Structure 1
Amino acid sequence: MRSFRTSTLTLLAVILFIGQCPNLLHGHGALMKFTPAPGIVVHAKYDNGQPMSEAQITVYAPDNPARPWLVGQADPEGRFAFVPDPAIPGTWAVQARQAGHGAIIHISTDETRSDIPDPMVNTTTPQFNQTSQGITPIQKGLMAGAIVWGCVGTALFFSCRRRT
């Protein structure tokens, strides 16, 4: 009976700790936007708004998407500028990578015209499509539930083994 009480208290402590983990442990994704200019200026940042300073930038041309057309490094604010070759029409791919995080943006040469608005409406707080944001509250709840379910199942498994 004493071991059951101890394991119950331990399980309760683990559940309370796991409930606080989403607040303690927060990963982040990477996002990009571009600004039409005489060339193209991309701005890479994490989904929490922090710039991807000095990230590695790779530009892929539409005619050969397997081989990098240009490789460079973003500035401390996460910006990188380049001028695409006007003789190569199509959609250019620009990739930013830093410390295991990365983002890619596809830019059509038609989008580089000055009459197209900036694709990132709100620059103070990143509100991008749902697929590129961090973990949603529903996902956090499902993960916490799965962890609790696993802990309860493990505790029950080991408590049944001792009795037999």
Structure 2
Amino acid sequence: MFKVKGDDGAARVGGPGAGGYDANAGDANINSMGGINGGAGANAGAGEWNNAAPGPYDDFGRPIPGVTLPTVYFSFDSSRIGSSEAPKLDEIASYLSSTPGTGVVIEGNCDNRGSDEYNRALGERRALAAKEYLVQRGIAESRIRTISYGEERPAVQGDDEASRAKNRRDEFVALTLNK
């Protein structure tokens, strides 16, 4: 089941902040499509997207207001899709199958253990694992992009195991694809 949050039309697809999704095209992020534009003015909060400087998904699509896809969590130092997380990916595959013209960006995230470089690579492996899962369920690769934020975007702050577990995740941004 997909949750629609808010009557204001703001896309809330996970990530920190009270205003819903916050896209940030920072210089250090990596993705499977050859990188993204970053630098000054590349941030866009929900509701500002159409008036903002180019964001990380502008060449691919626009976030769909009101659509929140499930978050997939991972074990420590792992990119394996756990049996408890597979149904979430099945739900995402079902959504994509039933909504032609949509795509998804998979954002890989890590906890704060490990070097920045290692965590960016692990975040990318996590995003690619989810992408492979969706492709195996019939979603065209052309409808999926991946990006790794490593440990840059924690869902919660804290050095305890419960906090770290919430930061080891893939978040999914539903997009209306550019034609």
Larger Rg: 1
Settle same-fold status: TM greater than 0.5: no
Highest relative contact order (Cα 8 Å, sep 6+), 1 or 2? Answer: 2
Q: Give the number of the structure whose residues are more often helix, by fraction.
A: 1
Q: TM-score, normalization: structure 2?
A: 0.22
Q: TM-score, normalization: structure 1?
A: 0.23
